[in-house]
Amino acid sequence: MVYVYLALKFIHIAAAITAVGSNITYGVWNVRAQSDSGQLGFALKGIKFIDDRIANPAYAVLLVTGLLMVFINRWPITSLWIVLALILFAALAVLAFRVYSPLL
């Protein structure tokens, strides 16, 4: 069971790096597009592609692996840090899907 937990933790951390790293590149895409307004459409399509195909799936993996680690370790789901993490995750997901994604 220890190896399962360690594998999940590795995947969880890799997903976090992938998701946040992808999001960080959006600023670079925008700055590059600002220097040549003809490239703005290409940049926005690139951001949308990365968001839909890399960042968002990585965030989903992050949620699933996090919950699996909670259940495998039999941590109470009502622990403050877990509840706060789930609330924050849900709030950011709503913000992303309701505000950010439609703008692309």
What confidence tens digit (pLDDT) does each residue in 2-36 have? 899 999 999 999 999 999 999 999 999 989 899 88
d(CA 97, CA 90): 11
Percentage above 70 pLDDT, the chain? 99
The pTM (predicted TM-score) of the whole model is: 0.88
What ranges do the domains of the chain cover? 2-74
C-beta of residue 11 within 8 angstroms of C-beta of residue 64: no
